[in-house]
Amino acid sequence: MGKISSGINSLDNLIDSLYVGDNVVWEVEAGTSSEIFVQDFIRQSFSENQNIIYVNFNKSPQSILQQIGVIPSKEKFVLLDCFTSGKGKNDRAFVKFYENSTDILGIKVESPGDISHFTTVINSMEDRFPGSRYIFDSLTGMQDLWGDENSTYKFFTYLCPRLYDLGTVAYWILEKDAHSQAFKANLRHITQAVLELYKRKDKLYIKALKLEGRHSREAFKPHPYEIEGRKISITQMRKEPFFDIGTKIKERRIKIGMSQKELADKVDLTPSFISQLENNQISPSLNSFIQICGALGVSLTEILEKKSEEEKWLIKREKVFSNLSIHENGMKGYRIVKNGNMSGMLVVLEPNAKIEKRFIPEEGKKLIHVLKGDVSVVIDNKEKILKSGDSVYLKEEVPSLWKNEGGDKAELLLLCS
């Protein structure tokens, strides 16, 4: 999976960057400066020579340009204006933007309230500006113009998969308090990523509610961020014990003989949302979590508390992927266990990665087992191809080169004694 920078290093570190195909829904509270996250993404896209198509429903074209500031690559920026003929009602104050000389390509959508017409216009953008990245400034503004959540949701369920298939990245901004819990839950089911920005006691926080394809759960915890000179810095929090909420909800549901559909109906969510929640792919909002616990007849404390009797011999996948111990170009090593003379590590090689650095200890015996993918290894100047299920047992030898021969990630289990 190809990665794209958000333009904010600390955000990339937290969420493992943006992935090609990501539709990122931003659930934001007022006063959280979401526009700076958008501006940094735009600047990053310009630096990579990528087009930006900015679809505005909530603000006038002039306000958008003032907010973004200097646009160094004006030929790469397209403003698809749904405000002037929408909320702006073709007021003279907004229409005159198009009478003034500007290097920005502004396209005024004449009937943005006509969803069919708008869909035709947005689809034509890919033909005119192939490979563009998208900013939708307000799902809330869409809903205001189109009249109801259902119309907005249907449009999202159409365009989100289409943008994913095009291999682009799109930001969708949503005012979190302006929509129902059911609407937001349904969007989380369709999209690839959901990030929440909120404010508590004058402090700003960011938290992931969904991150498709990422192993680490760290981003699902609240992380404070600061803004200095329009530069965003996200603070990495001290790691806390992983609360396996999804598994506990699933265990309780099965115990009382309730199906996923029955639970979904009780709390006004979709069965797919419950499935993703039980697999720890998404996190519920506080309101949804309270409703789910109520439907299951269990207290919040029972779900949240860490089991004191948890088996010491059990190491969950989530814990492994939270213990990143090696991070080199094209390779990550996750510590499974290190106890006395025994150690175990999961090594993940990126597609076509070539690793010359010796990450395997020279001392002791080593067993390397290929869990996934095709990998070539050079030992004593001899190259061998290892396929899934193959192993290498070494007493004194140390590999001088590893290479992932496939187009997908390869996984190796390394045991040392």
Q: What span, in angstroms and rounded, lies between the C-alpha atoms of 252 and 263?
A: 11
pTM of the model: 0.60
Dump pLDDT digits (tens) for 167-200: 999 999 999 889 988 899 989 999 999 999 999 9
pLDDT of residue 241: 47
Which residue ranges form the domains of the chain, and what is each CATH number? Answer: 3-234 (3.40.50.300), 245-304 (1.10.260.40), 323-416 (2.60.120.10)
Dump pLDDT digits (tens) for 14-69: 999 999 999 999 999 999 999 999 999 998 998 888 999 999 999 999 888 888 77
What is the pLDDT averaged over residues 125-135?
A: 91
Asked if residues 360 and 399 have their Cβ atoms less than 8 Å apart, the reply is: yes
Closest listed residue to residue 416, CA positions, set 347, 358, 364, 359: 364
pLDDT of residue 247: 86
What is the pLDDT averaged over residues 74-79?
A: 86
- Percentages helix, strand, coil for the chain (3-state, rounded to 5) are 35, 30, 40
What is the pLDDT averaged over residues 73-77?
A: 80
pLDDT of residue 150: 92
Residue percentage of the chain with pLDDT more than 70: 94
User: Cα angle at 95 between 89 and 96, to 5 degrees?
Assistant: 150
Confidence of residue 340 (pLDDT cuts 50, 70, 90): low
308 pLDDT higher than 50: no
Dump pLDDT digits (tens) for 216-242: 788 998 999 998 877 898 986 554 445
- Helix, strand or coil for residue 226? strand
What is the pLDDT averaged over residues 370-391?
A: 91
All residues at 6 or more sequence positions from 134 whose CB lies less than 8 Å from its CB, including other chains:
52, 53, 54, 55, 163, 168, 169, 170, 171
